[in-house]
Structure 1
Amino acid sequence: MPARGSCGRSSASPSPEAIVVGGAVAGASLANALGSRGIPTLLIERLDRERHGARGDLLHPPTLRILDSWGVLDALRADGAVALRELVVSARDRGIVARYPTPVRDQTPAGRTIAVPHERIEAVLSACAERRPSVTVERAVVTGLLREGGRVVGVRVREGGNARELRARVVIGCDGTRSSVRRELGIAEEEHEYATDFLYLEAEGEVAPPAAVHWHLDREGIVCVFARPRGESRAFLTVRRGMRTSFGPDPALRDHVVGRFPDLARLRIAKARARLYRVVRLLAERFWVPGCALAGDAAHTTNPAGATGMSLAITGAARLAELLVPALDRDDAAVDEALAAYEAERRPAAVRALEAAHAQAMRIYESDLFRDADAFARAVDPAAAWTAGGAGWGEDPAALAAPTPTT
């Protein structure tokens, strides 16, 4: 078996003790967390799931320390992760308004926020999980849950024309905002849609300054540009729901984007990689039933203003694994006690993170704050952006205090 903290190499795995449904950030993180402790784990991922970039790219120091303990951070750095150096705010008629250094915790590899394309984060996490001796990855569709005596004991899957039943001590649904596991469990969710959508773009080339998050304010709203590996950039533009978001031929899209932020003229924008992202927040009514839990977006989805969506998913997966490992050496009652403890700890943490992110979204996306560049710059200062929540930029959301209500 590989040393702890190593991705290891693939080999045959015994019958699973844990089945993880969904192989995006939360599911692949949970497979790494369990696999790094030698727990036989089956990760079930859909064959047809598209990996795309219309999600967060930033990983902060508290989360990087967890990834480092799994041996994943080195793999992300080898894949081209960019260490972010500063945050810049500019306005159409004023140029640069403010520059902030990104917070640095320490001089270790996990001490500074990094940018990695979301699809590469998923791919690296999945590859590391798949190389662990105790983890098996299957490409199939989960069609239902197996129940016995009031508890979940496995899943039904379909692969091509073949249907099977797979059993395990615990099943964890990490299958996203529209979770089929959550739906099958009958767990209700609270969902809020925002009036602002994001148009995500991927492009070749960089916008000065390098290794930065660059907020640009124009007459229509906000343009945000992130540095990416290999000389690429990603941008999102705020658009009011119902506004025109289909621009026809590539020149029309380019004209709209460059009209919003002229510096983007130096980039080669790939229309085929443009995505409209509908901003929502979601919270499941509960995170577990006997034998089964929800994690990641299946349990909680936060809007991008908090920059904590992946942190919630990864820290939650790490904590769930920490609680489950000793319980899996005992009986089913111990497993359920671990799941109850997970909900008791992580659901309040998710509530705090979602409330803080909502307050920030209402402040910077759902208002006219972009018309006041100085006030906007103060609102996105990474040293103060979470002041209302009681923690700094990129903190473990579990550390967040209840935010001050925003009117």
Structure 2
Amino acid sequence: MDTDVIVVGAGATGLMVAAELALAGVRPVVLETLGARSTQSRALNLHPRTSEILQARGLLADLLEHQIVLGTPAHSFFGALPVPLDCHPWRTRHPYQIGVLQTRVEERLERRLAELGVTVSRGHEVTAVEQDPDGVTATVRTAGGERRLRSRYLVGCDGGRSRVRKALAVDFPGTDGSRLFVAADVVLARPPERWHAELDPERRRHLRLLPGNSMAGVVPGPGGRLMFSLRALEDGVHRLSFSGPAVQRIPREEPVAEAEILEAIRTACGLDSELKEVRWASRFSDACRQVERYRHGRVLLAGDAAHIIVPLGGQGLNLGLQDAFNLGWKLAAEVSGWAPPGLLDTYHTERHPAAAVLLREARAQFSLLDGGPELTPLREVLIELLGLPETNRHLAGVVSGLGLRHPVPDGAHPLVGRRLPDLDLRTADGPLPVHRLLRGGRGVFLDLSGAPADEDVVGAWAHRVDIRAATAAEDIGARQVLVRPDGHVCWADDRERLADALGRWFGAPR
């Protein structure tokens, strides 16, 4: 073997998988086709659960220094209905979206990899993947010619047009795109609030001025409605997104011309000559797809290679990072030889249904957003339902990722399968938030009874599980919990099943 794990793709998902492997002591080889990190801003936001997992590994603080304004605060919404989704009931330090460019996320993750002694091999294009019972062979094209790399496992994180997925010859079922969009990073001649002041009353009724030098809305135009938004990014750059009848008439493969962007601004705002520069522009669709299995022998798929989603709310980046956080420690356990039977298979059984739910919700939201006046009665009913605390809490949990519960046996404690809330703990060494317990990527046995932790059972797994005693001002409904490296509870308060849970998730005792 040339290496234990090959990670194909150095976007956010691939970098996160590699960082989790390296944290656990596995040195992956990371292959990326591009010769340099992309400068395209792409996704613009972190949902609350993604913020939690980045904070758990000590990565969030640096990203907050580059925060962009998405709103004050940056609430999540369902289908753009005028009722914000309230994440406070999910007990999180991050109840709002955090605006940060995907390029910043990738930059920080690559820096973390370097801190862990792993570099990205750029200009390395994987052209073929073959596997056998003992390992995986990747054919890699570089400037110096082709070479073959052999590894025990390979993770495909190479995007929606994944070469790895195609090499596996697996289906990618779902819905074809029915609508095209344009996204572009542009430099404007004047800021949007000055545009807004000049809009005629009809356009001002449809376009909202948002905090942070941004605006968005759906404007009637020639032949149909134009979905239009401007979001302030960094250094005077704005993200312009639009979709209308004119966009649908242009083939997806055709480059976006500056004239097309100017026409969209003219249709939405009635203004001319508002562009100084177009940094980049591209077309995308509302297609939603998901592979039927995330694991195929020794090859695993994550991020857009496993699922593509309507680009509504930036869920693609967030789903990919959450896939990586779930997969990394399990694959490291498999490579290191201590994984209990079936541990690696739980990556599919946990992450596939999580993405399936979000794909369904995204399609529903897009239908509300894209539908015309005939959907007004449905929107009015949903606005009433979103005003109900339980409905609002449920959808906030789905959209944010905070409400995810992995499949668990019947009769399991209500906490099992869920993320452990980021409590403020009091320990013998002073105050400590829960996320600091997860910094090293190990399991945690947390005793909240106020007494020293009982080590008679857990001590046999102390080489993989940290034992901590603390108290918390907030009652979580359990006195003792066992927490996986990804922050999800896998046991609570059932002493008779503690050893079984430890063996199920952390392998054999010492």
Q: Shorter-chain-normalised TM-score: which range? A: 0.7 to 0.9
Paired position in structure 1 for 2:53 = 66
Q: Is the 8 A contact 2:184 2:279 kept in 1?
A: no
Q: Is the 8 A contact 1:169 1:291 kept in 2?
A: yes
Q: Is the 8 A contact 2:139 2:148 kept in 1?
A: yes
Query: Hey, what's the Cα distance between the residues in 2 that align with 1:303 and 1:184?
Result: 25
CA RMSD of aligned residues (A): 4.0
3-state SS, counterpart of residue 221 of structure 1: strand
Stretch of structure 1 that moved more, 392-401 or 153-162: 392-401
Query: Hey, what's the Cα distance between the residues in 2 that align with 1:278 and 1:266?
Result: 27
2:269 to 257, 261, 273: 261
Determine if the alignment matches structure 1 residue 324 to structure 2 residue 331.
yes
Query: Hey, what's the Cα distance between the residues in 2 that align with 1:158 and 1:73?
Result: 35
Paired position in structure 2 for 1:358 = 363
Paired position in structure 2 for 1:395 = 401
Query: Hey, what's the Cα distance between the residues in 2 that align with 1:265 and 1:114?
Result: 32
Determine if the alignment matches structure 1 residue 368 to structure 2 residue 352.
no
Query: Hey, what's the Cα distance between the residues in 2 that align with 1:281 and 1:397?
Result: 22
3-state SS, counterpart of residue 185 of structure 2: strand
Determine if the alignment matches structure 1 residue 172 to structure 2 residue 155.
yes
Query: Hey, what's the Cα distance between the residues in 1 that align with 2:391 and 2:217?
Result: 17
Q: How many equivalent residue pairs? A: 374
How is 1:78-93 mapped onto 2 (pairs within 5 angstroms)?
A: 78-82=65-69, 84-86=71-73
Structure 1 vs Structure 2: percent identity of aligned residues?
Answer: 23
TM-superposed CA distance for 1:216, in Å, is 1.1
Query: Hey, what's the Cα distance between the residues in 2 that align with 1:297 and 1:154?
Result: 22
Paired position in structure 1 for 2:493 = none
Q: Is the 8 A contact 1:291 1:336 kept in 2?
A: no
2:230 to 225, 228, 232: 225
3-state SS, counterpart of residue 161 of structure 2: coil
Unaligned runs of 5+ in 1: 1-13, 89-96, 402-407
Letter in 1 for 2:211: P
Q: Is the 8 A contact 2:331 2:344 kept in 1?
A: yes
Determine if the alignment matches structure 1 residue 142 to structure 2 residue 126.
yes
After superposition, the Cα gap between the structure-2 partners of 1:194 and 1:247, relative to the gap in structure 1 and judged at 3 Å, is closer
TM-superposed CA distance for 1:113, in Å, is 1.4
Letter in 2 for 1:119: T
Which structure is larger by alpha-carbon Rg, 1 or 2?
Answer: 2
Query: Hey, what's the Cα distance between the residues in 2 that align with 1:311 and 1:18?
Result: 23
Paired position in structure 2 for 1:345 = 350
3-state SS, counterpart of residue 254 of structure 1: helix
After superposition, the Cα gap between the structure-2 partners of 1:357 and 1:280, relative to the gap in structure 1 and judged at 3 Å, is same
Q: Is the 8 A contact 1:84 1:212 kept in 2?
A: no
2:20 to 7, 26, 33: 33
Structure 1 length normalisation: TM-score? 0.77
Paired position in structure 2 for 1:94 = none
TM-superposed CA distance for 1:303, in Å, is 0.8
Higher RCO (CA < 8 A, seq sep 6+): 1
1:159 to 139, 142, 152: 142
Determine if the alignment matches structure 1 residue 116 to structure 2 residue 100.
yes
Paired position in structure 1 for 2:239 = 234
Structure 2 length normalisation: TM-score? 0.63
After superposition, the Cα gap between the structure-2 partners of 1:186 and 1:113, relative to the gap in structure 1 and judged at 3 Å, is same
After superposition, the Cα gap between the structure-2 partners of 1:147 and 1:362, relative to the gap in structure 1 and judged at 3 Å, is same
After superposition, the Cα gap between the structure-2 partners of 1:247 and 1:38, relative to the gap in structure 1 and judged at 3 Å, is closer
After superposition, the Cα gap between the structure-2 partners of 1:321 and 1:400, relative to the gap in structure 1 and judged at 3 Å, is closer
Residue deviations 1:290-348, cap 9 Å, x none?
211000011111112354222211111000113223222217xx598333211111111
Query: Hey, what's the Cα distance between the residues in 1 that align with 2:56 and 2:398?
Result: 22
Letter in 1 for 2:4: E
Residue deviations 1:81-112, cap 9 Å, x none?
44642469xxxxxxxx958598567795x453
Residue deviations 1:348-407, cap 9 Å, x none?
111111111111112212x2159969949949x899997775735422474599xxxxxx
Letter in 2 for 1:276: R
Paired position in structure 2 for 1:11 = none
Query: Hey, what's the Cα distance between the residues in 1 that align with 2:113 and 2:402?
Result: 23
